[in-house]
Structure 1
Amino acid sequence: MREVLDASERRKLEVVEYLYFTGGWVTLKELAQKTVGSERILKQDMLQLRDYFSKEVLQTSHLGVRLVLPSHKDCDDLYRYFLSNSLAFKFVEMLIYDETKTVFELAEELYISSSTLFRLIKKLNLSLADYYVQVQTNPCKLISENEESIRYFYISYFSERYNNLEWPFKTINQTIFEQLLTFIAKKNNIPLNFADFKRLKLWTAIPYLRVKQGHHVAIKSSNYSKMIPDFSKFQPLTGIIEKKLAITLNNEFIEQVFSIFINNNFKFSYESLIEDTKTDPTVKERVSHHATLLHNLSNQIGIPILNYQHLLTEMFNISHFVFKSKEGQFPPPYILFNSKKDFVQSMEEKFPDFITLAFSNLKEYEKKTHEKYSETARYEIIYTLLIHWDHLIPELYNQKDKVRLLIVSDFDIEHAKMVQDLLHRFFKNEIITTLYTNPTFSLKQLNNHAYDILITTFTLPFDDKTIEQSCICIRNVPTKRNLTDIALAIEQQYKLKKHPFKSKVQKFIQF
């Protein structure tokens, strides 16, 4: 939804993103070429951005500009800045709490003219079309042919707009609402960790707010009614919750609040998934296709799935979940930054062959199930595969050929051995090291040694560019900079090397 930002906001976002992902000094000339702005305008942007980020974060010198975030912050803080300062998103957030106000009333609250707000709404509607949502005027509210689309949009917005320590829902008592959720989870023996509880709060708070505004969705399954406790048996706790939240705890209300889980046939355990395969042919077929996908992928790369039941359940949940508001409709699960795509692409840099195989197997799954996912939905699914497959990443690293280091020291051979020990301490299973023991040394003699990276304790007079690119000079003990350079060189070697997978046939549960 970057299009709803005004030209100045959009340009600043592009500047900050480029600085963040570049990670070093960038000249204004280069910034101007990469963004839609002149050097003069960019100088003004820098002054405004430094008011928020501080000059310690947004640094300037004769070398140019660079962004240095404190160690306790990441790029999500950058996107929150633009969301929190955007007039368009302030307006959208206001609508979840009050759907009775006119354009003129809201324009007054936002300190803008009604004509400006009308233009903003027109721009918003162009972007909101991707989410299958629109803004209606007088009174102003979000509308859609499917109420679930509105809920999904707000889930995406609030997850990106606020950090984990903020409670963004000003009309919901956080403590009492959390008590309600933990009570229901406990009664159903559903364990909650920090990330799961954060997601649960968000995915239920949005439906809660929509229900309070009088918006309901059709509940597609009665299978979850047995999970709703008889609240009358748990007084006075449930009475306090009802009073504090001004609600009535009955089946209809709870089903609406948990509608995202119910209507997406979400499985809270492997056991419940298998139970459904016995009575629901569609679920049985889907689970069978998922099992085939995982079986094929595991065999292709020769890595077992140690937590197969868990992974199968998670893949089932995400693959037909992915915020699908209607058959064939996959609204983007983000507003400004697709973190799941960024994660998968980061993994692709390290393991390109595996990611290619994963997408290829997902494509086969789509053919068999006659499903057609959007690009963002595919990235969500591959993200789920990557994080829920136990020990996948270490095993993929283990399948890579080790990088060969040749160590040459002009101090002592014992010094070379010490450097060797230190490098194995820092890089463990990633390297094979060899000590250079010849009595004479020349660049020509290096051709007789098989190595990927040359480690020396002295400067070499380079003529051969190939040697220059694979040589790192250290002094005495490897410094932090030396270790960083070696790590980068190892990663580069991983990209250059071909790493054939070690296929092995394994047995999986059949459905």
Structure 2
Amino acid sequence: MKKMRLLLSKKQRRQLQLLEILIKEKRWFHLKELATRLDCTERSLKEDLSNLRSTFDEFLIESSTNGIKIAYEDSIGLEVVYHHFYKESQAFALIEYLFFHKDVSNEFICKKFNLSYQSFYRLIRTINQKLQTKYNVKINLNPLNLIGDETDVRFFYAQYFAERNYYMEWPFPEFKENAVTDLITFFFKLYGYPLTFSVIKSYKVLLTVYLSRIKQGYFIDMPTTFDEYKELYQGVENVEEMLRYFSLQLGVELNEKVLEQFFIIFIQENFYFSPESLIEASKTDEYAKNSTTFIKDMFKDLCYTYDLEIENLDEMLMHVHNTSHLVRRELFSEFLLFDIKTNTNEDFMSIFPAFYDDLKNHLITYMKTMKHDLNEEILKHMIYTVYTHWERLLPQLLRRRKSIKVLIISRFDDHHAKSMIDFLNFYCTDNFEFSQMIKYNLTVKDIEASDADVVVANFMMPELKKKPFICTSSLSSLELVEKLNAFFYDFTSA
């Protein structure tokens, strides 16, 4: 679902899609093929390519008789593409401005963005139409503010800043980054919530958006469960002194009402801070019991089908359960322009297609059974959570794949072949079985009759037709490792 791309102009959407195709597929394209895929003329495509060449110093867009291809340094990531289109979008620029400036007049925005009144009203109408295809939010007129479902507003802005800025950048000049870090660390340690680099980075963005909206007077209707969380910090030594300190540092009085709003992401039914608390709740709470029972059965079935072990079952019960309830409360559980989770999930799907499909079907059944909306983006986020949080899942799945039998032959001597095997055993994964044939009158027929999946030799064998063959006379040893790993991926994915 790429609805937020509609906030870009048609030309911007086409150029963004063009870059995504070139970067993802990493091959030569003829103009005709690209024009067909982008539903545009070759003339428009040539103009786009010229524009992109002059815009992005990070990319080398090559042209030859082979067509069009993109090249870039290993240090360049996809972020540079999305940052550019966010920066160039008038719609997103206006939405961002309204985050930092409350109650702006129509006249002021027209002057600031160099808009006629007609263009201004057309822009607002377009923004509201596109935003409301996905979020219950809109820009109110005179004064201008982004309002609506406050949970949606906060998530939209947090996700926007997460995609709009580089990961290590701090986009909130009104708030000291260190003060936000210290506040989050204080409460997370208090509640026993695990702290990692990525968790802190995500929640700094998310909760600073919350602070900013609270400071401007926007609040979310609270559930009735805050008292049990409040008791955890009210008895802490020097807590009032700490809250006064953070209030001064952040410019927001951290009273009980503000703290409720600040941590509303966790203060909700069916969210648990620890596996123990979820398991304990499942003894008396029917919903928690049904959820954990289904998730346990899912893991039991996956373990049986794929001969897997799950060392952190209790943690996985909590992760899957909590993730299903974090609708618009966790960064990248949905996306605006930069669909980074799909890119990651597609890697999992291409390497482990059967497991991916079974997991997806289990999770769909879980969502239906627990009466969740079948939200494709939450489903995607849950799949990602299982793959990344299940300890040692990937090595177990990889070991299930058939080992590749590699026959090594050298024109020098058997000792050279053996040294190649020693080298490859060290640099390649344990998914390879290397061997050599000790036979003084070895023939091509012998090689073709062997059980080898691929043959490696330091000389050419044009007669060898029935086996995949890699000639190393033009390869370095490390290039051979790269070729074999690529062969393993292609062979086991076929």
Do the two structures share a fold, i.e. TM-score over 0.5?
yes
Query: What is the identity, as a one-letter code, of the residue corresponding to 1:136?
Result: N
Alpha-carbon offset, residue 321 of structure 1: 1.8
Alpha-carbon offset, residue 133 of structure 1: 2.4
Alpha-carbon offset, residue 37 of structure 1: 3.6
From 121, 143, 146, the counterpart of 1:142:
146
**Partner residue in 2 for 1:305:** 310
Alpha-carbon offset, residue 232 of structure 1: 9.0
**Partner residue in 2 for 1:131:** 135
From 59, 81, 91, the counterpart of 1:57:
59
From 309, 322, 325, the counterpart of 1:320:
325
Alpha-carbon offset, residue 230 of structure 1: 6.0
From 291, 294, 312, the counterpart of 1:289:
294
Please state if 1:481 is matched with 2:472: no
1:355-366 residue pairs with structure 2 within 5 A? Answer: 355-366=356-367
Please state if 1:225 is matched with 2:230: yes
From 110, 128, 131, the counterpart of 1:107:
110
Alpha-carbon offset, residue 248 of structure 1: 1.8
1:212/1:445 CA distance change after superposition, 3 Å: same
Query: Which structure 1 residue ranges, 4+ long, deviate > 6 Å from structure 2?
Result: none
Instruction: Tell me if structure 1 keeps the 8 A contact 2:333–2:381.
Output: no
Question: 2-side partners of 1:264 and 1:91: how far apart?
Answer: 35
1:263/1:117 CA distance change after superposition, 3 Å: farther
Please state if 1:244 is matched with 2:249: yes
Instruction: Tell me if structure 1 keeps the 8 A contact 2:271–2:325.
Output: no
**Partner residue in 2 for 1:260:** 265
Question: 2-side partners of 1:73 and 1:275: how far apart?
Answer: 47
Instruction: Tell me if structure 1 keeps the 8 A contact 2:456–2:470.
Output: yes
Instruction: Tell me if structure 1 keeps the 8 A contact 2:323–2:381.
Output: yes
Question: 2-side partners of 1:160 and 1:229: how far apart?
Answer: 36
Alpha-carbon offset, residue 442 of structure 1: 4.8
**Partner residue in 1 for 2:452:** 451
**Partner residue in 2 for 1:492:** 490
Question: 2-side partners of 1:155 and 1:458: how far apart?
Answer: 58
**Partner residue in 2 for 1:499:** none
Instruction: Tell me if structure 2 keeps the 8 A contact 1:264–1:321.
Output: no
Question: 1-side partners of 2:356 and 2:269: how far apart?
Answer: 27
**Partner residue in 2 for 1:202:** 205
- How many aligned positions are there? 486
Question: 1-side partners of 2:368 and 2:17: how far apart?
Answer: 37
**Partner residue in 2 for 1:121:** 124
SS at match of 1:259: coil
1:116/1:482 CA distance change after superposition, 3 Å: farther
Instruction: Tell me if structure 2 keeps the 8 A contact 1:341–1:376.
Output: no
Instruction: Tell me if structure 2 keeps the 8 A contact 1:405–1:454.
Output: yes
Alpha-carbon offset, residue 2 of structure 1: 1.2
1:7-406 residue pairs with structure 2 within 5 A? Answer: 7-54=10-57, 57-62=59-64, 63-128=66-131, 129-144=133-148, 146-220=149-223, 221-222=225-226, 223-229=228-234, 233-234=238-239, 236-263=241-268, 265-323=270-328, 333-406=334-407
SS at match of 1:261: coil
Question: 2-side partners of 1:366 and 1:188: how far apart?
Answer: 28
Question: 1-side partners of 2:205 and 2:284: how far apart?
Answer: 31
Among all aligned residue pairs of Structure 1 and Structure 2, give the percentage whose two residues are the same amino acid: 28
Question: 2-side partners of 1:18 and 1:80: how far apart?
Answer: 17
SS at match of 1:447: helix
CA deviations 1:191-229 (Å, max 9, x no partner) are 421111012212211221221221111211223222334
Query: What is the identity, as a one-letter code, of the residue corresponding to 1:248?
Result: E
What's the TM-score, normalizing by structure 2?
0.90
Question: 2-side partners of 1:486 and 1:254: how far apart?
Answer: 55
Question: 2-side partners of 1:408 and 1:15: how far apart?
Answer: 45
Instruction: Tell me if structure 1 keeps the 8 A contact 2:282–2:288.
Output: yes
Unaligned regions of 5+ residues in structure 1, if any?
326-330, 497-511
1:238/1:377 CA distance change after superposition, 3 Å: closer
SS at match of 1:429: coil
Question: 2-side partners of 1:288 and 1:70: how far apart?
Answer: 48
SS at match of 2:273: coil
What's the TM-score, normalizing by structure 1?
0.88
Instruction: Tell me if structure 2 keeps the 8 A contact 1:158–1:168.
Output: yes
Alpha-carbon offset, residue 231 of structure 1: 8.3
Alpha-carbon offset, residue 445 of structure 1: 3.6
Alpha-carbon offset, residue 154 of structure 1: 1.7
- By relative contact order (CA 8 Å, sep 6+), the higher-ranking structure is 1
1:61/1:462 CA distance change after superposition, 3 Å: farther
Question: 2-side partners of 1:463 and 1:190: how far apart?
Answer: 60
SS at match of 2:434: strand
CA deviations 1:362-401 (Å, max 9, x no partner) are 1332343233422211110010001000000001011111
Question: 1-side partners of 2:236 and 2:158: how far apart?
Answer: 27
Alpha-carbon offset, residue 258 of structure 1: 1.0
1:480/1:48 CA distance change after superposition, 3 Å: farther
Question: 2-side partners of 1:57 and 1:476: how far apart?
Answer: 29
Instruction: Tell me if structure 2 keeps the 8 A contact 1:458–1:473.
Output: yes
SS at match of 1:134: strand
